[in-house]
Structure 1
């Protein structure tokens, strides 16, 4: 089960990076709307959650 969780974590991390990249591209083209901001917030939340899980797994 740990391998499944690792793969899922990597997928979430890549998805979050892509969402942030998408937001930055939209910002550069001056086409930012509310959905881009929501995607950015979800991406930051996913990154923080993934970092928390990684740091927590180091301790135990």
Structure 2
């Protein structure tokens, strides 16, 4: 249960950093989105499905 919560929290943080990376030139977007997909895949099927259906993921990854 703690591992699942940690993966969800870290996935959310990497999603925010990836989204900020769209607007900030020195911050990469794709690695953060791939990390988000990995973390949310291992934590929750619902979050993973939500993330892979977002417009940002489908555009940039």
Q: TM-score, normalised by structure 1?
A: 0.59
Q: How far is 1:7 from its partner?
A: 1.0
Matches within 5 A, 1:10-49: 10-33=5-28, 36-49=29-42
Gaps of 5+ in 2: 46-61
Please tell me whether Structure 1 or Structure 2 has the larger radius of gyration of its CA atoms. Answer: 1
Matching residue of 1:51? 44
SS at 1:31 equivalent: coil
Gaps of 5+ in 1: 1-5, 53-60
Q: How many residues align?
A: 45
Q: Select the structure that is richer in helix.
A: 1
Contact 2:18 2:30 in 1 (8 A): yes
